[in-house]
A and B are shown apart, each in its own frame.
Chain A
Amino acid sequence: MQDPPVTLTCRNVWKVFGDGARRVLDAHDGHPPAEALREAGLIGAVQDASLEVRRGEIFVIMGLSGSGKSTLVRCLSRLIEPTGGQVLFDGQDLLRASRREMIEIRRHKMGMVFQHFALLPHLSVLENVAFPLRVQGVPPGAREERARESITLVGLRGREHYFPRELSGGQQQRVGIARSLVVEPEVWFLDEPFSALDPLIRREMQDEFLRLQTMLHKTIVFITHDVEEAIRLADHIAIMKDGEIIQIATPERLVLEPATEYVAEFTRHIPRGKVVTLASAMTPGPAPGAVAGALSARARVAEVADQVEAAGQPFAVVDDDETVVGHIDGRTVVDILIGRPVRGGEGPR
């Protein structure tokens, strides 16, 4: 299958806080070593970050608190001015765009959801959601209608006239989501949208988020510090540490081939069965004997575990064209589920 085109690119982006940041960056040809920053008393919140986000994918940026995730996503939307580097959005260099152009881009092509919701306390749900349209000058009737649609989309119908403080945290974030979607943006930035919520509500909101995405197919940059959330939602994950991106990969590759010990540590407790696809787990080539049936190479191990275990015979693994590419037996499935090293040497030791 062909990869969709790249929508958002950032190349060698730096954000250094402190006086004279630009000077230090220039003095080192755009790549100051960590000592140089420390000596100048600067904070390298984002260091030499490069990434590509493809149309319609969920790109998750994950890292511990203070690793520079928020700073990076704010550089992407130019909420803060990067100290150096390039940000391309639909081929346009955002850092060269004029103030007027940036306002237009934000009004029509970008939406953002904030960790603490950032709802305006003096406006009702309806007015909050309609706010981005109001600043664009959309007439009241039209903007109210679009705001209502957006509110319905996130399941808050009937609460249009509530005020933010009359809603629970989860409901407030639904308002934040509805508000960011009301302009039908191309890229959708979400900065730890569910971190302020209780675990149960968080899970519910993740489901809701995935449901929305299957309908809307937005290009998404999603920030989280929660590995499980990242694995659950992401098409690609970028792991950040101390301002640097240390690995960008699909969840599966991240678990199976962590680039550093740090990433391995992060993913150690992820149940492999939920991440590993049959394409990675299978033994290549057709099964030697009879098979119990055929399974898609894209299926995750955990999804088919019961079936394979119960059959007592291996299954054939087929690709999208129904061509047999390998086989898998109950033993392999169990190995992966309980985290034992898999034959064929895949996965961490």
Chain B
Amino acid sequence: MIRRGQPVAVPWTALLWLGLIVASVILAEHAKDLSRAWDARWLMKVPSELRIPLKAEVSAFMAWLVEDVRFGPVAFTDITRGMAWLVEQPYDFARALLQSGLTRGQGEGAEQVAPPLSWIAVIAAVVAMGHYARSWTLAAFVGACFLYLAVFGQWDSAMVTLASITIAVPIGVAGGLVLGIAGWRWRAVDAVLRPVLDLMQTVPIFAYLVPILFLFGFGPVAALIATVIYAMPPMVRITTLALRGVPAEIRGFAVMAGCTPSQQLWKVLVPSAMPSLMVGVNQVIMLSLNMVIIASMIGAGGLGFDVLSALRRLDIGAGLEAGLAIVVLAIALDRLSQAFANRPSPTHASQHLPFVRRHPWSLTVALVILGTALLGLVMPAVQSYPDGLTLTTGRFWSDVVETINVRYFDQLEAVKTFMLLNILIPVKRVLLGLPWPWVIGLVTLAGWQLGGWRLALLCFGLSGFLAVNGLWDDAMTTVYLCGVSVAIAGLIGIPLGILATTGSRMGRVIAAVIDTLQTLPSFVYLIPVVMLFRVGDFAAMIAVVLYALAPAVRYTAHGIQAISPQLIEAGIAAGCTRWQLLTRIRLPLALPDIMLGINQTIMLALSMLVITALVGTRDLGQEVYIALTKADTGRGIVAGLGVAAIAIIADRLIAAGAQRARRRLGLAG
């Protein structure tokens, strides 16, 4: 292909960066000695004069908020308590309905007034929903998923989790809808919301937990609030976009029909935007499920708690069982909500049937609920799945892991040692050995080259933030773990993405696997990794790679599929071999998309790193985790912002690079 523009510029920058990298490696080796020889320790360690006491200030602010802030007679804590109460009521009800039953009295003396819904009733309800949303196939699938929960003894925990999901999702959807509408209606609100949402997406979830724990205390309500805050942002964005996307003519019609502003919104715009809004609902559900384990750190019970406590006990079997139950629940809810979102719209044939014919399933389910409730009074097996019939796979999994560990110990250990010695440790040494001003300089230079002085300033400011807050070493450890993981994810993901576009059976299998991987809560990846490799950087890296692989595959596949077929035909007509087609046409043209995929991979990797803190990494994630266990708000928030700073630097640099690549390829102006 012919590249117009400066033909010399490309090798020049490439040479410059090659030189800088070599220099960095050499520098990292000797920086410590040099700084000692020159008596310039500040090169390696940010001097205390430059530090700012942000952590202490944030902590003091939070304390002030909780202790001193009053609005007239109302203290700030009254507001948080009020919010907690508001959330608690529906949660208690949902939990009573699904798991505990209605009780009277408190604590030990509580007696059950009414039992919860029987397992049969719940399964009947999801089967009916599956059939209503799509087909008998889906109904059977979700029914089987829920039956699995009962048979494998996870029912009670699963219902606790389901109760919090059924409360978190409507609150998240309603809140997102309201904020999204406000953002659509008033430009000013949008201008405020947008950067906040951007930041929320990059700050790791753990960092939210600390202030929430501080404000709402430990317990299911705090967990629910954290879940809502985490799951709401996509709904806000999607609502604003969906409303903007309603055709101008439909808006015009609403006005011409004489709708009042609220009629325009609720009777015309929101219903017209419904298909897009349903995508948002699906997102809220998936993110809520993703929070299940994390939320259990601040008091959510259920499956998340089971996983967490099993991980802490290193009880592999139990952890895996509960983890699988989360996966099953997640997949079932995902398919169900997607089916609702893509439900074929009604046709005239379905209209005008008598009520019973139109709603056969709601009636059946109501009957099943009533019937099983009555029958449950005399037959306990109808009320709750009989313990005698549960299967447990915990032992089995423990044995499997045991066997693998015993039989393949040497091989596993060899892989681990090889990776540690040849990749992880050298990279870590280089990054931690570099003087901090050098790194800030490099990042700023990259910003300047890719996006001009604004980006340079942003990079300088954000990397400076890490330095002045005393997060430097943790940040470098984060960059190292993230960098290695992303590189490996890219090395595996891009070829898989290419394979996925070949249209072969292999490609379809890859696509399906990636789809499923994306529905799994991030935590689940930790379980098998810990089983096989125990704790440490290597285990963390594997978990991160598994979790962050999907976008690399997806974007690569998407980028290649989006190439105009005419270009490919032109290549074939020019006599390119298949290999040449790939390397000369497909990959270069897909480059901008691949870069965006890598960008997403980095974002996911960073969010996963905070979770891998559980397996003993020493990075910013660990800092947040420690802050959480000590309820130290300042430390948690500042470390969380540190992760966000890294995420933003990576995001902006890559976006600028992708933009340049796109312009060079003439894909966008």
Most buried by A among B255, B256, B259: B256
Contact A116 to B249, CB < 8 A, known contacts A110-B256, A135-B263, A136-B258: yes
A255 → B minimal CB distance (Å):
32
Interface set, chain A 72-126, CB cutoff 8 A to B = 74, 77, 79, 103-104, 106-108, 110-112, 114-118, 120-124
A117 → B minimal CB distance (Å):
8
Please tell me if the beta carbons of A118 and B348 are within 8 angstroms of each other in the complex.
no
Please tell me if the beta carbons of B348 and A135 are within 8 angstroms of each other in the complex.
no
Q: List residues of chain B with CB within 8 A of the CB of A161.
A: 348, 351-352
Please tell me if the beta carbons of B256 and A112 are within 8 angstroms of each other in the complex.
yes
Please tell me if the beta carbons of A120 and B258 are within 8 angstroms of each other in the complex.
no
Please tell me if the beta carbons of A165 and B345 are within 8 angstroms of each other in the complex.
yes
Contact A121 to B348, CB < 8 A, known contacts A103-B258, A114-B252: no
Mark interface residues in B232-268 (1 if CB within 8 Å of A CB, else 0).
Answer: 0000000000000001011011011111100100011
Cβ-defined partner of B252 (8 Å) among A103, A112, A163, A166: A112
Residue of B nearest to A133 (CB): B257
Residue of B nearest to A164 (CB): B345
* B271 within 8 A of partner (CB): yes
Please tell me if the beta carbons of A118 and B258 are within 8 angstroms of each other in the complex.
no
Please tell me if the beta carbons of B348 and A106 are within 8 angstroms of each other in the complex.
no
* B272 within 8 A of partner (CB): yes
* B346 within 8 A of partner (CB): yes
B83 → A minimal CB distance (Å):
34
Residue of B nearest to A109 (CB): B258
Bound Cα distance from A108 to B258, whole angstroms: 8
Interface size bracket, A side? 20 to 34
Contact A114 to B253, CB < 8 A, known contacts A124-B348, A161-B348: yes
Interface set, chain B 454-486, CB cutoff 8 A to A = none
Contact A163 to B345, CB < 8 A, known contacts A121-B272, A122-B271: yes
* B347 within 8 A of partner (CB): yes
Interface set, chain A 121-146, CB cutoff 8 A to B = 121-124, 131-132, 134-136
Please tell me if the beta carbons of A79 and B252 are within 8 angstroms of each other in the complex.
yes
Please tell me if the beta carbons of A163 and B346 are within 8 angstroms of each other in the complex.
yes
Please tell me if the beta carbons of A79 and B258 are within 8 angstroms of each other in the complex.
no
Bound Cα distance from A11 to B271, whole angstroms: 38
Please tell me if the beta carbons of B247 and A116 are within 8 angstroms of each other in the complex.
yes
Contact A135 to B347, CB < 8 A, known contacts A106-B255, A118-B252: no
Please tell me if the beta carbons of A74 and B252 are within 8 angstroms of each other in the complex.
yes
Please tell me if the beta carbons of A159 and B249 are within 8 angstroms of each other in the complex.
no
Please tell me if the beta carbons of A118 and B352 are within 8 angstroms of each other in the complex.
no
* B18 within 8 A of partner (CB): no
* B274 within 8 A of partner (CB): yes
Q: List residues of chain A with CB within 8 A of the CB of B274.
A: 122
Interface set, chain B 637-668, CB cutoff 8 A to A = none
* A162 within 8 A of partner (CB): yes
Mark interface residues in B258-286 (1 if CB within 8 Å of A CB, else 0).
Answer: 11100100011001101000000000000
Mark interface residues in B340-382 (1 if CB within 8 Å of A CB, else 0).
Answer: 0000011110011000000000000000000000000000000
Residue of A nearest to B267 (CB): A135
Bound Cα distance from A110 to B255, whole angstroms: 11
Please tell me if the beta carbons of A166 and B348 are within 8 angstroms of each other in the complex.
yes
B259 → A minimal CB distance (Å):
5
Q: List residues of chain B with CB within 8 A of the CB of A131.
A: 257, 267
Residue of A nearest to B250 (CB): A118
Cβ-defined partner of A112 (8 Å) among B253, B345, B346, B351: B253
Interface set, chain A 228-267, CB cutoff 8 A to B = none
Please tell me if the beta carbons of B258 and A114 are within 8 angstroms of each other in the complex.
no
Mark interface residues in A310-342 (1 if CB within 8 Å of B CB, else 0).
Answer: 000000000000000000000000000000000
Q: List residues of chain A with CB within 8 A of the CB of B259.
A: 103, 135
Bound Cα distance from A103 to B264, whole angstroms: 12
Please tell me if the beta carbons of A122 and B345 are within 8 angstroms of each other in the complex.
yes
Most buried by B among A131, A134, A136, A159: A131
Q: List residues of chain B with CB within 8 A of the CB of A166.
A: 347-348
Bound Cα distance from A74 to B251, whole angstroms: 12
Contact A106 to B345, CB < 8 A, known contacts A116-B249, A135-B263, A161-B352: no
Please tell me if the beta carbons of A121 and B253 are within 8 angstroms of each other in the complex.
no
Bound Cα distance from A112 to B351, whole angstroms: 28
Please tell me if the beta carbons of B257 and A135 are within 8 angstroms of each other in the complex.
yes
Bound Cα distance from A67 to B174, whole angstroms: 43
Please tell me if the beta carbons of A77 and B256 are within 8 angstroms of each other in the complex.
yes
Please tell me if the beta carbons of B249 and A115 are within 8 angstroms of each other in the complex.
yes
A220 → B minimal CB distance (Å):
15
Bound Cα distance from A122 to B269, whole angstroms: 11
B276 → A minimal CB distance (Å):
12
Q: List residues of chain B with CB within 8 A of the CB of A163.
A: 345-348
Q: List residues of chain A with CB within 8 A of the CB of B257.
A: 106-107, 131-132, 135
Task: Given A106-B255, A161-B348, output 14 extra A-B contacts at Cβ < 8 Å.
Answer: A77-B256, A104-B258, A107-B257, A111-B256, A115-B249, A122-B271, A122-B272, A122-B274, A124-B348, A135-B258, A162-B348, A163-B346, A166-B348, A189-B256
User: Could you jot down 13 A-B contacts, CB within 8 Å?
Assistant: A106-B257, A108-B258, A110-B256, A112-B252, A112-B253, A114-B253, A120-B268, A121-B272, A121-B345, A132-B258, A135-B263, A163-B347, A165-B345
**10 nearest interchain CB pairs?**
A107-B258, A161-B351, A118-B249, A106-B258, A118-B253, A161-B348, A132-B257, A162-B348, A112-B256, A114-B249
